[in-house]
Chain A
Amino acid sequence: MSGERSGERFRDVLRGTIDGKTVVARRGATVLETAESVGIRIPTLCHREGLPPDGNCRLCVVETKGKLVISCMFPVREDGFAILTQSPGVREARRFVLSLMLNRAPKAPAILKLAGEYGAGADPRFSRDPDNCVRCGRCVRACRANRTEAIALVGRGFERSVSGPFEKPPPDCVGCLSCAFVCPTGNILYSERDGKRRIWDKEFRLVPCPECGTPVFTEEQIRFLGEKASGLCPECGRRRLASALRNAEPLSGGSRGF
C-alpha cells in the first residue's frame, strides 16, 4: 500500500463525539450510520436501509452546533463533530413530530410505541380522517427502486396520499408486495386466497414454486422480471444456491488460510 493512499484513508477518518462518547466516523457517513455503528439508537420512520433517504419524517433529528439536523441524511464532514441525540431540544422536536403523526395515524403500533417513549399524544381537537398512513413514501421509494413505479405520492399538503395514477388501481403494479413489506405503519393491506392475491384493488394470480409448490410470485411479477426470475420461492432459491456453492470448484489463487 502506498503512503499516499494510506494518508488519504487517514484523512477520511474523523473523530468526534456522540452524546459525549468518543466516536470514529468515516467522512461523509451519515450521523445515523455513525451512531448505529457504536450502538446508539436513534428513532427513524421514513428511513429504511436499502431505500434512498428522503428525510421527510423529521423523527431522527439530532442536535449539532445548537441546531437540529436530521441524522439519516446529515453527513459527518469535520473532525471534532459533536452530536447530541437526546438533548431536551431533540426530545421536544420528536414529541412534536410524533404528536402530529398521531393525529393522522392514531393506531399505528410503531408510532404508538415511540409516542410512549417521548410522551407524545394525539389531540382530539386536530384529529382528522385517521388512516394510519404517515405519508413517509417508503412504499413509493421501494416501488421506484424495483423500477415498477406503479404508485406515487399524489396531491399537495394535507391532501397528499399514496395512489396509483388518477386514483385508480395502478396499471403498472405487478403485485410484488414490496410496498406493504416496507410500510412502517402496516397501512398497505393485501389478501391472499385461493391462489389469488389482492392489493391496490387489483387481483393477481399466484404461480406456485416449481419445487415446493408454495405460491409466492404473481404472473405479472415473473413477466416483469423476465430472465431474472427463477420462479423459486425464497426458501427453495436459497437451497438451490447453497447446493450450487457446495458443488462449486474452489476459486484458483484464493487464499483460505490452511
Chain B
Amino acid sequence: MRFEGPAAVAARREELARKDPDVRTLRVCGGPGCLASGSRELLAALKEAAVASGLDPAKRRISFTGCLGLCERGPLLELDPEGHFLRGVAPSDAAEVVGTALGEGKLVPRLSPNPESPEKESLEFYGPQKRLIMRRFGKIDPESFDDYLATGGYEALVISLFESGPAETLRRVAESGLRGRGGGGFPAGLKWKAMTGAKGTPRYVLANGDEGDPGAFMNRSLMEGDPLAVVEGLTIGAFALGAERGIIYVRNEYPLSVARLEKAIAGARARGLLGENILGTDFSFDLSVTEGGGAFVCGESTALMASIEGREGTPRVKYVRSTEAGLWDKPTVLQNVETWANVPLIAANGPEWFKGIGAKGNPGTKVFSLAGETRNTGLVELPLGTKVGVLVNVVGGGVRKGRRFKAIQSGGPSGGCLPESALELPLDFDHLTEAGAMMGSGGIIVMDDLSCPVDVARYFTGFLAEESCGKCVPCREALPVLREVLSDLTRGSGRKGDTDFLEKQAGLLKETALCGLGQSAANPVLSTIRHFREEYLEHESGYCRSGRCRGLYVPVIDPGACRACGSCQKVCPAGAVGGKKKEKRTVAAGKCVGCGACLKACAFFAIRAERKEHVG
C-alpha cells in the first residue's frame, strides 16, 4: 500500500480517524521499567481475560504502548479514550480490569492512585511535565503504523517535501535553536549548515541510540515507544541535507528497540515513505539499523562511525569535522535519536513555536530518567530550564521520609555531582555545564544524606576506567590512578594530600584526553571535589560523615532524638545495637561492622556517623 503523494497520506489519516468511533483500548506500559515489573505477563493475562469475557476484539483492544513514566509504581495502564491511569496492576487483576475498565469504561478505584481525578496528569509526578517527545507514549501501539499516522505522523514530512523545501526546512531547524540531546548540546542548525557546504557523496544522516549510561533509558524508551518519530525525523533531515542514506546505531542490549525500529522502517518503506521517490517526489532516502556491541565509548561520535564501518570502536582525533568527513569519510550528520525526534515537531510547527517552549538558548523539552533516593522515580519530560528543585521535590516527590537531600548527579557517569544549591538551578545545557556537571543524555540520580560523594566518584570513575577504550594515554592510564586513590580514600587508606592530587590529575586528564568521553571522565572527581571538598579532606583522615564508607565511622545514637522504636536493632546484622524494648538504644562500637543499615533504618535522624576517634 504505497502512498503516491500527500493526498493519499491525508486520505488514509482521515479514514483512520473516521473508523471505529467507540473503540476502547487498554494500553499496557511496555517501557523498560514495567517490562521488568511484569507487564508482559499482565498483557497476556488481560488478553486471556478479554477472550474469556467475549469482548469484541475489534472494538475492545489491548496493546502495549510506550513508557508511561512512573516506573516505580509499575506495571502501569492507561485506558484510551477515558484517560484513566492505573498503577501496580497484577495479572490477578486482569478479569476486573477487563470487565470494568475495558468493557464499561469505568474506573477501578483501588488501582487508581487518585480516584477523584483519574487522569495521570492530576498526579504531582506528571504536573510539571510537558510530554512532547513522549506525546504518543500511552496513545499508540508503537508497532502500529496506522496508530502513528492517525496521531499526526508524517504530517511534518509532507510539509517539508511539498511546502517548505530543503532550504526552508533547514532554516526552521537552525532558527529553532534545537540543541543536541545526546549530551553536548551542540546547536543542530550549525551542524546541518556545516554539512550543506561539504563536498562528497553519498551523504549520511546517523542516529545515535547507543545510550550507555548506567541507569539511563530515555533513548531506549523513545525507540521502543515511538520509533517512527525517529524514522520521520531522519527522513526530514536527509531531505534538508541532501543525504541518501541513514543509519540508526543501537546497542545490541536493546533487542526490542532494534525490532521496533526495523518494523517501523519496513512499514515506512512499504508505504513509499522510505526508498526511491518518496511520496512520488525525486527525493530518495533509505534507512537501516546497525547493532553495536555495547561499549560505552561507541556512543562517542567518531567511535560510533568506526564501529559502523566494521572497525574497532575507538574515537579518532577530530580536527576534521564529521560534517566534512564522517562515516566512510563522507559528509555526515550524527544526532541523538531524541534530537531527531524533535525534528518533525519543528518542521511542522516552525521555529517560533519551538522557541516558545523551554528557556532562552535552551528551547524545547528534554527527557530525563530520574533515579535514586526520591519517592517517585521514572521517565520524565520537562521543558528545559525547569528548576532542578521542581524535578526533585515535585516530580520526584522529594527524598524519602526521614532523609535529607544532599546532591544530584546529572549527566551519567561522566557528568557531575551538584550540591543543595543546585535545587535553584535551571535544568539546561548551559547552567549544568557552568556548575560543573552536564546534561549528558539526561540521567539524573538524586542522593540523600547517606550518599557519600567520594564513594559516588569512586563508583563512576571505576565505571569509566572499565569502559575506557584505552586508545589514549591519559584516559587509559590516569583513570585507574584516580580509581586507586578514590578506593584508598573510601577504604580508609587515603593519604594526606590525596584530594589535591586527585584534583590536579583529573584536571590534566580533562585537558589532554583524546575524545569527549576521556575529557569528561574527569567530571565525577572534579565536581565532587568542587562541591564537597570538606568531605574529601575528612576521608583523608579516615572519616566518612555519610556513614557510607565502611570502617570510616561509628554509628552513635543520640539519646535525645531516639524514640526507642528499635528499628535499628532489628536491622543490625552484628547484634551491635543494645537496649531493651521501649528503651533508648545504644551501639557497641566494638561489635559494629559498619554496614550502615541502622542509619538507613532510623526515621528520626537519631543516628549519626561519628568519627571513630571520638567514640570511646
B113 at the interface (CB under 8 A from A): no
User: Is A96 a contact of B508 with CB atoms below 8 Å?
Assistant: yes
A70 at the interface (CB under 8 A from B): yes
Instruction: Note all chain A residues with C-beta closer than 8 A to B477.
Output: 100-101, 103-104, 158
Please tell me which one of the listed residues B295, B478, B484, B512 contacts residue A156 in the complex, with CB atoms under 8 A apart.
B295
Given that A73-B319, A156-B295, A157-B479 are contacting pairs, would A93 and B470 also be in contact in the complex, using a CB cutoff of 8 Å?
no
In the complex, how many angstroms separate the beta carbon of B481 from the nearest chain A beta carbon?
5
- The residues in B between 315 and 367 inclusive whose CB is less than 8 angstroms from any CB of A are 316-317, 319
- Cα(A153)–Cα(B478), bound, Å: 19
In the complex, how many angstroms separate the beta carbon of B462 from the nearest chain A beta carbon?
11
Instruction: Note all chain A residues with C-beta closer than 8 A to B316.
Output: 55
Which of A56-64, A208-216, A246-254 contacts its partner?
A56-64
Residue of A nearest to B471 (CB): A56
User: Is B511 a contact of A100 with CB atoms below 8 Å?
Assistant: no
- Cα(A164)–Cα(B110), bound, Å: 63
Residue of B nearest to A96 (CB): B508
B500 at the interface (CB under 8 A from A): no
Please tell me which one of the listed residues B295, B472, B484, B513 contacts residue A126 in the complex, with CB atoms under 8 A apart.
B484
B369 at the interface (CB under 8 A from A): no
- Cα(A159)–Cα(B466), bound, Å: 9
- The residues in B between 539 and 596 inclusive whose CB is less than 8 angstroms from any CB of A are none
- Cα(A92)–Cα(B510), bound, Å: 13
- The residues in A between 222 and 257 inclusive whose CB is less than 8 angstroms from any CB of B are none
Given that A57-B473, A158-B470 are contacting pairs, would A96 and B319 also be in contact in the complex, using a CB cutoff of 8 Å?
no
A160 at the interface (CB under 8 A from B): yes
- The residues in B between 505 and 545 inclusive whose CB is less than 8 angstroms from any CB of A are 505, 508, 511-514
- Cα(A249)–Cα(B479), bound, Å: 63
- Cα(A97)–Cα(B514), bound, Å: 12
B312 at the interface (CB under 8 A from A): yes
Instruction: Note all chain B residues with C-beta closer than 8 A to A56.
Output: 471-473, 514
Please tell me which one of the listed residues A70, A101, A103 contacts residue B317 in the complex, with CB atoms under 8 A apart.
A70
- The residues in B between 437 and 470 inclusive whose CB is less than 8 angstroms from any CB of A are 465-470
User: Is A97 a contact of B511 with CB atoms below 8 Å?
Assistant: no
Given that A55-B514, A58-B512, A126-B481 are contacting pairs, would A155 and B474 also be in contact in the complex, using a CB cutoff of 8 Å?
no
Instruction: Note all chain B residues with C-beta closer than 8 A to A126.
Output: 480-481, 484
B476 at the interface (CB under 8 A from A): yes
Instruction: Note all chain B residues with C-beta closer than 8 A to A103.
Output: 477, 481
A170 at the interface (CB under 8 A from B): no
Instruction: Note all chain A residues with C-beta closer than 8 A to B312.
Output: 152-153
User: Secondary structure of the A side of the interface?
Assistant: mixed
User: Is A157 a contact of B470 with CB atoms below 8 Å?
Assistant: yes
Residues 46-74 of A, flagged 1 when their CB comes within 8 A of B and 0 if not, give 00000001111111010000001110011
Given that A104-B477, A135-B470 are contacting pairs, would A125 and B484 also be in contact in the complex, using a CB cutoff of 8 Å?
yes
Instruction: Note all chain B residues with C-beta closer than 8 A to A61.
Output: 512
Please tell me which one of the listed residues B295, B470, B481 contacts residue A160 in the complex, with CB atoms under 8 A apart.
B470
Instruction: Note all chain A residues with C-beta closer than 8 A to B465.
Output: 157-158
Please tell me which one of the listed residues B466, B467, B469, B508 contacts residue A92 in the complex, with CB atoms under 8 A apart.
B508
Given that A61-B512, A126-B481, A157-B467 are contacting pairs, would A74 and B319 also be in contact in the complex, using a CB cutoff of 8 Å?
yes
A176 at the interface (CB under 8 A from B): no
Instruction: Note all chain B residues with C-beta closer than 8 A to A25.
Output: none
A169 at the interface (CB under 8 A from B): no
User: Secondary structure of the B side of the interface?
Assistant: helix
In the complex, how many angstroms separate the beta carbon of A142 from the nearest chain B beta carbon?
17
- Cα(A159)–Cα(B468), bound, Å: 10
Given that A156-B295, A156-B470 are contacting pairs, would A93 and B512 also be in contact in the complex, using a CB cutoff of 8 Å?
yes
Instruction: Note all chain B residues with C-beta closer than 8 A to A89.
Output: 511
Residue of A nearest to B495 (CB): A125
A134 at the interface (CB under 8 A from B): yes
Instruction: Note all chain B residues with C-beta closer than 8 A to A159.
Output: 470
Instruction: Note all chain A residues with C-beta closer than 8 A to B467.
Output: 156-157
User: Is A134 a contact of B511 with CB atoms below 8 Å?
Assistant: no
- Cα(A194)–Cα(B128), bound, Å: 81
Given that A56-B472, A70-B317, A126-B480 are contacting pairs, would A157 and B512 also be in contact in the complex, using a CB cutoff of 8 Å?
no
In the complex, how many angstroms separate the beta carbon of B614 from the nearest chain A beta carbon?
29
Instruction: Note all chain A residues with C-beta closer than 8 A to B513.
Output: 58
- Cα(A89)–Cα(B473), bound, Å: 17
User: Is A155 a contact of B470 with CB atoms below 8 Å?
Assistant: yes
Residue of B nearest to A94 (CB): B512
- Cα(A75)–Cα(B512), bound, Å: 18
In the complex, how many angstroms separate the beta carbon of B223 from the nearest chain A beta carbon?
25
Please tell me which one of the listed residues B317, B319, B484, B512 contacts residue A97 in the complex, with CB atoms under 8 A apart.
B512
- Cα(A157)–Cα(B314), bound, Å: 11
Residue of A nearest to B478 (CB): A100
Given that A56-B514, A70-B317, A126-B484 are contacting pairs, would A101 and B469 also be in contact in the complex, using a CB cutoff of 8 Å?
no
In the complex, how many angstroms separate the beta carbon of A251 from the nearest chain B beta carbon?
37
Most buried by A among B316, B319, B479: B319
- The residues in B between 218 and 238 inclusive whose CB is less than 8 angstroms from any CB of A are none
Most buried by B among A53, A92, A158: A158
Instruction: Note all chain B residues with C-beta closer than 8 A to A55.
Output: 316-317, 472, 514
Can you sample 29 A-B contacts with CB below 8 Å? A55-B316, A55-B317, A56-B471, A57-B472, A58-B472, A58-B473, A58-B474, A58-B512, A61-B512, A74-B319, A89-B511, A92-B508, A100-B474, A100-B481, A126-B481, A126-B484, A128-B480, A134-B473, A135-B473, A153-B312, A155-B470, A156-B470, A157-B467, A157-B468, A157-B480, A158-B468, A158-B470, A158-B480, A160-B476
Q: Which 5 A-B pairs have the closest CB atoms?
A: A160-B470, A100-B477, A55-B317, A157-B468, A96-B508
Chain A interface residues toward B at CB < 8 A: 53-59, 61, 68-70, 73-75, 89, 92-93, 96-97, 100-101, 103-104, 123, 125-126, 128, 134-135, 152-153, 155-160
Q: A58-B472, A100-B477, A158-B468 are in contact. List 18 more A-B contacts (CB 8 A).
A: A54-B317, A59-B473, A61-B512, A70-B317, A73-B319, A75-B319, A96-B474, A96-B508, A100-B474, A104-B477, A125-B484, A126-B480, A152-B312, A153-B470, A156-B470, A157-B467, A157-B470, A158-B480
